[in-house]
Amino acid sequence: MGGVRSMVKKGLGEMGFNKGGGAINWFPGHMAAATRAIRHRLKVSDLVIEVRDARLPLSSANEDLQPSLSGKRRVIALNKKDLANPNIMHGK
């Protein structure tokens, strides 16, 4: 399994494995870099437009960025409204 682990570290970023060999922590390097870039830009932003999935508006928020968003003016836009439950969505 050493070959797979080295390939994963080089290609995708950090990944942990449980005893059965399954992935338990997967966060590719490009996603970590994007998160760092967003945090950097948030420091100089007055307004944040946050796009969330209308099917899961609460759970599609990026929890890692929420502390950086506190105190910022925000517009939360819901994407994929056509795929969301029409009984929940307002303004059909």
**Taking 80 as the threshold, does the pLDDT of residue 41 lie above it?**
yes
HSE-CB at 80 with a 13 A cutoff on CA atoms is 11
In the chain, which ranges are continuous DSSP H helix?
A: 2-12, 29-42, 66-69
Domain residue spans in the chain?
A: 1-43, 45-92
Rounded Cα distance between 12 and 70, Å, is 30
**The overall pTM is greater than 0.95:** no
What angle is formed at CA 26 by the lines to CA 11 and CA 64, rounded to 5 degrees? 120
Quick one: pLDDT at residue 77? 92
Quick one: pLDDT at residue 47? 94
